Structure 1
Amino acid sequence: MTETRHDWTKEEISEIYHSPLLDLIYRAATIHRLNKDYSEVQISSLLSIKTGGCSEDCSYCPQAARYNTGVDVHALMSIDQVTSAAQKAKDGGASRLCMGAAWREVRDNRDFDKVIDMVKAVNSLDMEVCCTLGMLTESQANRLAEAGLYAYNHNLDTSEEDYKRIITTRTYDDRLKTIDNVRKAKISVCSGGIIGLGETVEDRISMLKTLSNMPQHPESVPINALVPVKGTPMENQPRVPIWDMIRMIATARIIMPGTVVRLSAGRTEMSLTDQAFCFMAGANSIFAGDKLLTTPNPEFNADMQMFELLGLKPREAFKNGRPVGKQEEVSA
């Protein structure tokens, strides 16, 4: 088992990131095989339960109300719609459903009550449930935990130094505070970032340092490649080279050896060979299904064919145990 550290320096991470590519992949692959069943890939399906109309100004996001991106605004889905989508995702091989709502923060209202019921409903299908709903208070995180929420996604996006260039309607500390609230509620943390925003390599390294030096590493770290959307300030950003994605995944695998590293947004632009390199470099999770909130994503069937070719297999739900919430206490 490789040592898990929480005191990485920028210099150490930079040295890893900039090491010769084949050496980097080999090192990451070796660590991956020491710490994980490297042929297992956790499959998540992402569902937009409330689309568009968000008050934030995230420069990359088509759901921000201030940008004209052609995204139709939809109110919160019904519980029946969510359970139907969850069942479809489970039938396609997903072990986790991540429900995303285009909110700046969670408010204590009927909509949140409805989300709590959605969490319970998806849990009843024996699937891990993840939410990404914006900023959370400690009491809201506790309510989600009691409903049986397995994971909460709250990405850092970029480095603390670069953050204000990307988003001005909230601060980096706001992000870290929500992650802290999630951790206190004993919910699994899912937090990563996006490359291709016009950030420097130093920004990427700084973001990885923040993630790897948390008192407990996030259980899941998504590495996203920007999908430029017309109408957003990032619409003309060039596509991220696949080798940059591989370097990010491999570096994350080395400095956070026990973490699930997710190959996230941008997969539609990747060839099967590109994705194979990402899995070799330590990626062991994907989003599957035809959409990531509002952007395209490879379909389940194509992913299953890729898994068969590469000798990969879907990871079962709750492999690391079920969430500690009231639901579990009742059923015990």
Structure 2
Amino acid sequence: MTDAQNTAPLRTDWSMDEIRAIYYKPVLELIVEASQVHQQYQATGEVQVCTLLSVKTGGCPEDCAYCPQAARYHTDVPVHKLLSNDVVLDAARQAKEGGSTRFCMGAAWREVRDNRDFDRVLEMVEGVNEMGLEVCCTLGMVNEYQAERLKQAGLYAYNHNLDTSEENYSNIITTRTYGDRLNTIENVRKAGISVCSGGIIGLGETDDDRIAMLHVLANLPQHPESVPVNALVPVEGTPLAEQPRVSVWEMVRMIATARILMPQTMVRLSAGRQEMPVSEQALCFLAGANSIFSGDKLLTTPNPGFADDKAMFELLGLTPRKSFKAETPCGGTVDAPATAQTPALAE
């Protein structure tokens, strides 16, 4: 990483035309530029390893067209109530042993309700936090009070994806608004919780929809600390079951553009990795991706396991990122020595 004076400034005032100009660059030029920005702000070759567990599956009242957990779609995803604390904490221990430094818990809820289930999730957050893992949740919409309770329980990050552009949003989801999404992100930020927000490509959107989504993320008052870039995993029984697979070049364009727009952000190569050979994933890392989900499942869809990722890390010379490692504005790092975990991917 370079000194502060050689580092491109952070911006939250990108225009659509500026982002288009970046996004449509010849792909090799785009990769080179993104890689240079990545080297300025991040420890290249260092990748955050996260694990995502569905703690409450199926039966969701939303109509997200990509999601097999929506109650209105006929998929093979079994419905199960909120897992017990013991099961969740055991899964977190296994994730830590496997090399993960962030443990994410997802519940198929439209919104958090102030009830016993939320109290139990708060207990889970406390338990995972005590293990020295960064704990993340994705529970649907939260208000300011709920976000504050999550923060007090030890929540490190909250995921709430924009999914797509505001213009395309109603084609994918009708049971909530784009404004609802942004309100939750604002509530999370006010509580002092790290923001994780990205989207999905392959929903039938246009390139301009992808650019518009990045425009919103890059122009938030503060960039999200994490931006997942997901490739749609089509699931039989959902409205998007017949969508074609997203190409690696589409993923590279999204990742590289996100890296240039939001240099300090962790850009996560998320859903869709199961279908990507190591050579394609390597292109994404070269373009600025520095975070993955590892573990056999990503909520309900297949995902590479720890052994596969260990082999990939060894082949590509990648190093797992420590937990609780924050980037400073000058590109240096600040670690939390009392809780930081130096990981090693499991055999």
TM-score band, normalised by the shorter chain? over 0.9
Deviations 1:162-201 (Å, cap 9, x if unpaired)? 0000000000000000000000000000000000000000
Match of 2:255 in 1: 249
Alignment of 1:191-270 (within 5 A): 191-270=197-276
Match of 2:72 in 1: 66
Distance in 1 separating the partners of 2:76 and 2:285: 34
For residue 157 of structure 2, the aligned residue among 139, 148, 151 is 151
Distance in 1 separating the partners of 2:79 and 2:131: 28
Quote the offset at 1:5 in angstroms.
0.3
1:34 matched to 2:25? The reply is no
Which letter does structure 2 place at the counterpart of 1:293?
Answer: L
Quote the offset at 1:157 in angstroms.
0.1
Paired residues, number: 323
Which letter does structure 2 place at the counterpart of 1:85?
Answer: A
1:281 matched to 2:308? The reply is no
Distance in 2 separating the partners of 1:179 and 1:16: 26
For residue 313 of structure 2, the aligned residue among 307, 312, 332 is 307
Quote the offset at 1:56 in angstroms.
0.2
1:91 matched to 2:97? The reply is yes
Distance in 2 separating the partners of 1:263 and 1:78: 29
Distance in 2 separating the partners of 1:300 and 1:78: 24
Distance in 1 separating the partners of 2:201 and 2:82: 29
Percent identical residues: 67
Question: What is the DSSP-based 3-state SS (H/G/I as helix, E as strand, rest coil) of the residue aligned with 2:325?
Answer: coil
Match of 1:330 in 2: none
Match of 1:327 in 2: none
TM-score, structure 1 as length reference: 0.96
Question: What is the DSSP-based 3-state SS (H/G/I as helix, E as strand, rest coil) of the residue aligned with 2:234?
Answer: coil
Match of 2:342 in 1: none
8 A Cα contact 1:150 1:322, kept in partner? no
Question: What is the DSSP-based 3-state SS (H/G/I as helix, E as strand, rest coil) of the residue aligned with 2:92?
Answer: helix
Question: What is the DSSP-based 3-state SS (H/G/I as helix, E as strand, rest coil) of the residue aligned with 1:61?
Answer: coil
Which letter does structure 2 place at the counterpart of 1:294?
Answer: T
Match of 2:123 in 1: 117
Quote the offset at 1:124 in angstroms.
1.0
1:106 matched to 2:112? The reply is yes
For residue 53 of structure 2, the aligned residue among 47, 52, 58 is 47
Distance in 2 separating the partners of 1:37 and 1:174: 35
Which letter does structure 2 place at the counterpart of 1:12?
Answer: E
Quote the offset at 1:322 in angstroms.
8.7
Question: What is the DSSP-based 3-state SS (H/G/I as helix, E as strand, rest coil) of the residue aligned with 1:162?
Answer: helix
Which letter does structure 2 place at the counterpart of 1:215?
Answer: P
Alignment of 1:171-190 (within 5 A): 171-190=177-196
Which letter does structure 1 place at the counterpart of 2:291?
Answer: S
Distance in 2 separating the partners of 1:29 and 1:196: 24
Match of 1:82 in 2: 88
Distance in 2 separating the partners of 1:24 and 1:3: 18
Which letter does structure 2 place at the counterpart of 1:122?
Answer: V
TM-score, structure 2 as length reference: 0.92
Quote the offset at 1:255 in angstroms.
0.5
- Runs of 4+ in structure 1 off by over 4 angstroms are none
Distance in 2 separating the partners of 1:285 and 1:69: 29
Match of 1:162 in 2: 168
Distance in 2 separating the partners of 1:230 and 1:224: 18
8 A Cα contact 1:96 1:129, kept in partner? yes
Unaligned runs of 5+ in 1: 324-332
Distance in 1 separating the partners of 2:286 and 2:134: 25
Quote the offset at 1:43 in angstroms.
0.7
Which letter does structure 2 place at the counterpart of 1:35?
Answer: Y
Match of 1:13 in 2: 19
8 A Cα contact 1:261 1:285, kept in partner? yes
1:126 matched to 2:132? The reply is yes
Quote the offset at 1:70 in angstroms.
1.2
1:4 matched to 2:14? The reply is no
